[in-house]
Amino acid sequence: MIELWFAVIAFLWTGYFVLEGFDFGVGMLAPLVSRNAAEQRAGLETIGPVWDGNEVWLITAVGAMFAAFPAWYAGLFSTFYLPVVLVLAGLIVRGVGLEWRGKVTNPLWCDLGIVVGSAIPAFLWGAIFASLLFGGVAPALLGGAFSLAVCALHGAVFLALRTTGPVRRRARTVALAAGGVTIPVAVFALSGLGTAPALAAMAALAAATALIWRRREGWAFTATAGAIVLTTLAVFMELRVRPLPGLTLAEAASGPYTLTMLTWIGLITLPFILVYQGWTYWVFRKRIKVPA
């Protein structure tokens, strides 16, 4: 049961990073690839129907940690209390910006909130997990830079995949630039792990850059998503051995009865979450047409 719930939590965090990763990237890049209000609105519409649903993965992942591994949950979120609070503040600011942008006369402050509220969590999640694995300020900053760069690349590819016209062309250009930054940062950030998934993640990022250059946005997005999956896998392979300094997975886990009850609850609820998410993306799968 312990291994099963660790795998479930790793899966939930992976889903969160893949889905929120392009949300963060679009939020940061929408002003950069837009030249007028209509183009920026079209860029943000690519995540409009899904961004709040993507955050459900974070809530579910944290809730599962609290129930299945309370000692891990308590240690992680108390150690990184300030960064986590800043992440939550960023998510709130971004959410307010996205919700209020179409309801105010001057959306400039909303746009600023979306950019800042997307960049802060994108950086801090990488910094938190890098610090958890390696400790120290330098690894945390490198991990934050890596996650920020990956989100920018992931979001740029998503914008190119979901838009038309000049926004799509600019998104491809930004994706190529982001790939040029992300690949060397990934080499430094992931070489410390040295595992097969980490090496495969570097290759996936290089493949994504090559694919976006060839205008294969769909495959490029698959590659960036794959890079995030592989990176998260590499991280959780390390955490499986030592989720916190001085704490083993067995010591962090709840009792057998709690884990059994959680398993039944998960078997009932998790399929609904997956079906709902799949249905949402299917309904809103078409490109957003940018006004000429």
pLDDT greater at residue 289 or residue 93: 93
pLDDT surpasses 90 at 40: no
Across residues 15-28, what is the average pLDDT?
95
pLDDT of residue 124: 97
Q: What is the DSSP string of 167-229?
A: HHHHHHHHHHHHHHHHHHHHHHHHHTT-SHHHHHHHHHHHHHHHHHHTT-HHHHHHHHHHHHH
Predicted pLDDT of residue 253: 85
**Distance, CA of 52 to CA of 96 (rounded, Å):** 11
pTM greater than the 0.95 cutoff:
no
Q: Which residues pair with 288 in a beta bridge?
A: 163
CA distance 16 to 10: 10
In percent, how much of the chain has pLDDT > 70? 99
Q: DSSP label at 247?
A: B
> What pLDDT shows up at residue 101?
85
Is a pLDDT exceeding 80 seen at residue 211?
A: yes
Percent share of the chain, pLDDT over 90: 63
Mean per-residue pLDDT of the chain = 91
Q: Is 286 helix (H, G, I), strand (E, B) or coil?
A: coil
At 139, the pLDDT band (50, 70, 90 cuts) reads very high
SS3 105: coil
DSSP β-bridge partners for residue 163: 288
pLDDT score for 261? 85
Give whole-number Cα distances, 231 to 125, 150, 178, 186, 194, in Å.
Answer: 13, 11, 18, 10, 11
Residues listed for the chain: 292
Rounded CA-CA distance 114/233 in Å is: 29
Average pLDDT over residues 90-108: 88
* Mean local confidence (pLDDT), 22-30: 94
pLDDT in tens, 165-204: 899 999 999 999 999 999 999 999 998 888 899 999 999 9
Residue 292 has pLDDT above 70, yes or no: no
Instruction: Please give the C-alpha separations between residue 50 and each of 42, 47, 97, 274, in angstroms, as whole numbers.
Output: 14, 5, 15, 13
Read off the pLDDT of each residue in 116-138 and give the average, rounded to a whole number: 95
The model's confidence at residue 291, banded by pLDDT at 50, 70 and 90, is low
Q: Is the pLDDT of residue 290 over 80?
A: no
d(CA 179, CA 220): 11
Instruction: Identify the three-state secondary structure at position 244.
Output: strand
